Chain A
Amino acid sequence: MSARRIFARPARFAAIAPYVWMVLFFLVPFGFVLKISLSQTAIAQPPYEPVFDLTAGWSAIRAAFAALSIDNFRLLASDDIYVFAYLRSLTVAVTATALLLLIGYPIAYGMARLPKRWQAVAMVLVIVPFWTSFLIRIYAWINILQHDGLLNQILLALHLVSAPVVWLSTDTAMYIGIVYSYLPFMILPLYATLAKMEPALEEAAGDLGAPPWQVFWLVTFPLSLPGVGAGVLLCFIPIVGEFVIPDLLAGSNSLMIGQTLWLEFFTNKDWPVASAAAIILLVVLLLPLLLYERLQRRQLEEG
């Protein structure tokens, strides 16, 4: 007991370097996003005003504060393009997460039923694509889905279609890309809870006369809910802000919020509006982020 207490002090000192780093490069930058979201676009370097000049004295800083406004947020709330972008982000994230759960659950369930030796192998096999470059995996799908791509060649050869089907630049392609990229994030937490589950519980339900679907629905599924929650959050949150997949695979007519932010920033060079879009995205995600944080902490405390 005393040994543990002695150990605690130097361990606390270990926090100093990462703490300072995260405050400097994670927390402080959010202050800048907040500040610039309240600024106006300007043809200047940097492209916004007012710029705080700490050497100019107190009255200049007060004047700069007075010049801050919520105009950017008014713009975002009143312009249909942005409102649609938020709604589309949420729709895409909900649909894709549902698909991921439907596809990922049977895979995780199958993994948990494997003999112990094979479970480790299966887990490595699921993790490996997660290590492989994200962009490369999307690019691999462009190869397959393009006009004269492999999918159309196969469909034509099997005479399932008479002319090449347009796959690329459709929502279908985008959903394929999202499901493909995020599948490991869904499988792993599901597998973690399913593998820990006591098989005797299912056997008991079966022995007591429950048909397999009832065993699954009344015993297995409720017990796997923590894994479902973790998997859903782990996929939902980043999909809302997704940029690369919709940009490369979806059509260009309706954008998601991550794309809108990117366009405002890089194409329109409107940094204040991009910052305001980021703030709203963060507010939209705050609830799921907090939920995720709580789940994560509970799992660490249990594990």
Chain B
Amino acid sequence: MIEHDIIVIGGGLSGLRAALEAKRNGADVAVISKVPPIRSHSVAAQGGINASIGPDDSWDSHAYDTVKGSDYLADQDTVEILCKEAPEIVYEMENWGTLFSRTEDGKIAQRPFGGAGFPRTCYAGDRTGHNLLHTMYEQVLRAGVRIYNEWMVTRLATDSNRCTGFVALNLLNSELESFRAKSIVIATGGYGRIYQRSTNSIINTGFGISLAYRAGVPIQDMEFVQFHPTTLWGTNILITEGVRGEGGYLYNKDHERFMDKYAPESMELAPRDIVARSIQTEIDEGWGFSGGYVQLDITHLGKELINERLSGIRQICIDFAGVDPIKEPIPVQPGHHYSMGGISSGKDGLTPLDGLYAIGECACISVHGANRLGGNSLLDTIVFGKRAGEHAANAVKSIAMPSEDSLNESLTEERSNIDSMMGDGGESFADVKDELRQTMQRYVGVYRNRGDLETGLANVKALEKRGENIHVKSRVNAFNMELMNVLEVKGMLDIARVITEGALVREESRGAHYRTDFLERDDEKWLKHTLAYLKDGNPKLEYKDVTITQFQPKRREY
């Protein structure tokens, strides 16, 4: 059994920031991650991180944009924290070495992003995530935090409403080990790969969310799934919103700048949900190009600007689509991008399970509500990562190490669980996974309605049944990828089920959740958060109020 005061599961931006803060506050802290931290999905973020550091900007204007963008579902007390702490977070990262892009006079440069009333997004070219994550990792190394690389956590251990640690699989040799801690922080990122088209890394399966769900923790607002309007046709690699921020135009096959039909004021810079639906409508109504895409054109921006601020995007287009955006428009289509929902947690990352914190994309601290604004999620990971790390470090000073019993028990259960999956025959994980991803894409996508959601739900339930019968044929010990995949597919099914049921029940359109059979937002009935608990193998839905402080809900127009 391995022991630390605090163990952070996940080495992305949120997990590393939590670990760093806990260490700075004197705790014995370790990070465990299925890939080395710098391979985490955070590395892929392109566009930037929001902070109201401009001379005419203010935290409350940032908060207003965030709440409006969220379609009033965000909790305004946590949004206030996010926006107030943003400038300090950006300056801190800068001071640690992040290579932000600069203005002529050497200050941190900012670019406009959708849904923001001000150019508020600080960026490092179009490699903001790469620069932030490497900087953060460097500082974690400097602080001497212990890191367990290439370990996959498979089950949380609990003892009378307290999280006592977890069981993890060492990918190097397929051995299971138990880890005991006074506090655990989950920072495992999003679940993009349950959709067929997703901008996310292949490792983003949402398994961390299902770990908490299976340990009895509620997961919140899962029906709110963000689709990014512009992903590269084919591979769905992200084409950052920064491209539109720099002045890119969207055209349909008749070379119309169709956004003037949908958001005449803000055009290409309307929030993501609106632009994604506009593109999808164009495609569905036959105005897209054959194969299902529209064009994002930046040829008018000129070679120099493209090479300076969008060089990563240019390279992506050349490598993955054979298109050079200096000369030709980029083919784009909407794809899954971000999870607004996640493990229910509060302003310090605390979940309803004692000793368990959740932060970053796997969590729902509810700063993004029904729709996240670009540049707010990198901010979310660092702001709340820092808070959770500090809170946990203070808390462990007065908590005793839990007893070993629950961990020994969990280890035994997990051994027999894995043993029962080994063998020939049965279902293959790849078939179940592929069908799940198609189902979610087809029936629980940008546009939703009762009929589709019911079909989607029936499919997911059928796949759950088949999921019970998946076997691992490969017997190798070192890097048994088939075993990892089988474990993760089961978590993907949990999440798909909750998203679909939540979406079916929520009879309104709000933010990214758009019902063609209930076109309006319905504050009377639905200005509330969804909580899903796992009860006897099924999600049980409950609801809770949204915290409203300074901004009263009003109609959202752009």
* Binding between chains A and B: no
Please list the residues of chain A having a beta carbon within 8 angstroms of any beta carbon in chain B.
Answer: none
